[in-house]
Chain A
Amino acid sequence: MKSPSLARSSFLKAVAAIVQKDLAAEYRSRELLSSMMVFALLVIFIFNYALNLEPSVRAKVTAGVLWVTFVFAGTIGLNRSMAVEKDRGCLDGLLLAPVDRTAIFFGKVISTLIFMLLVEVIMLPFYGLFYNVNLFNPGLLLVMLLGSIGYVVVGTLLSSMAVQTRTRDILLPIILFPIIIPILLSALDASNGFLNNLEFDLIQPALGLLVALDVIFTAVSFMVFDYVVEE
């Protein structure tokens, strides 16, 4: 029987190994980041021309356009991240390792989160340029982090289910979007609050709900991942 500290150490080593492997593979291929970024840019570009709003009105739709962009781009990232594991049987390789399977889950969550946050941070100046809005607001950055955590946690769990099916590219958004609505709505509320410079007391409920949802979804995913990846 392993001691708790040894088990924790091997758990963290496995998580670190998976994150490092994903970063190294992405550094070589640049497939995931480039497709997420091109897609995000296109969404911002299309919204810019489709809405064709006055500058004062544009500020009001900023949070909505931003989160739609992040969610769509994130779906591509989630699909791709799990497809890489499935296509050459690598998911089986991970599952065959004598490590706690939640280490695999957290490794995939952390690496996908890094890619998603990177895309979000790069998209902000582009958005500012198109919509003439300054988005470098620490509060907004916090909401982006919290919203992305919840989104990636749920997305990684569901993509590990969807990847087992033939229709994985279509299935993931169909099962993911309804489940992330609470996360998306609280992220939108909190983002709007920070962008409109509301009092923190008014933003706090949405921010608190976002944190609570992150904790709940992480706990549930932690409990069920083992069953989801097993036949």
Chain B
Amino acid sequence: MIEVRKLVKRFGLKTILRGLDFDVQPGEFVALLGPNGAGKTTFLRILSSLSRPSLGEVKIAGYALPSQAAAVRARLGVVSHMPLLYADLTAEENLRFYARLYGLQNQEPRITEVLQMVGLDNRRRDLVRTFSRGMQQRLAIGRAVLHDPDVMLFDEPYTGLDQDASTMLDEVLKSVASQGRTVVMTSHDLARSEDLATRFDVLSRGVITASTSREGLGSSNVLAFYKQALNT
């Protein structure tokens, strides 16, 4: 579903990604781990077509970036630590706006379905500015799944959430992943990643330095795997 070959990203003289290779099979949930400044957000921005690679090949669902970016965007849902929502519009107005941009048919039933999925149907007519951070993040996930994408990218979705909001977000993420979607998530929250992901990759100094499946962890845990990957 995602194929990345020898990806390089430079900002001026600074090289962030250094020949990164990355493959994700359909239905996999990959937790992309790594220290601050490792290039996780830059990598996800390239996958989401918001940034161009300096060198290398990126394909999502068989479409190449950046040449077939529009086709990729139609199959992609992105959630970052920013909500990507308009504070002066209501929850349903935000979703309606994005539904129009994505050219969805039968918008209203789909909007209701998504609002129910993220548990905000009873707040659909409230302005987003009145929502807590956790509610905004749930609505952001609703926005990202509105067009039923095959691939979901989550960039630090737990940032700024308290314990209750994080637990609620867990349920929404599990629901999103259980629908057969391919998911890539960056997070510093190793425990949460361990609960959700089926594969764990460590990105460090611009390349993937280690990768293991849930089964590959054996009796170990993600924290031990992560520490070992950073030390090698």
Contacts and interface: CB of A to CB of B under 8 A. Distances in A.
Contact of B97 (A10, A21, A98): A21
A21 B103 CA distance: 15
Most chain A beta carbons < 10 A, residue from B45, B74, B97: B97
Contact of B50 (A14, A18, A90, A96): A96
Contacts of B71: 98
Contacts of A167: none
Contact of B86 (A13, A88, A99, A230): A88
A24 interface: yes
Interface residues of B, number: 30
Contacts of B168: none
B172 interface: no
Contact of A230 (B50, B73, B103): B50
B119 interface: no
B127 interface: yes
Dominant SS among interface residues on chain A: helix
Contacts of A90: 84-86
Contacts of B117: none
A28 interface: yes
Interface in B72-94: 73-74, 76, 78, 80, 82-89, 93
B52 interface: yes
Interface string A1-21: 000000000100110111011
Interface in A65-104: 84, 88-90, 92-100
A14 B103 CA distance: 8
B225 interface: no
Given A28-B127, A96-B73, A230-B51, A17 B85 contact: no
A29 interface: yes
Given A17-B97, A21-B86, A28-B88, A92 B50 contact: yes
Interface in B38-73: 45, 48-52, 70-71, 73
A99 B103 CA distance: 9
Contacts of A95: 49-50
A20 B48 CA distance: 26
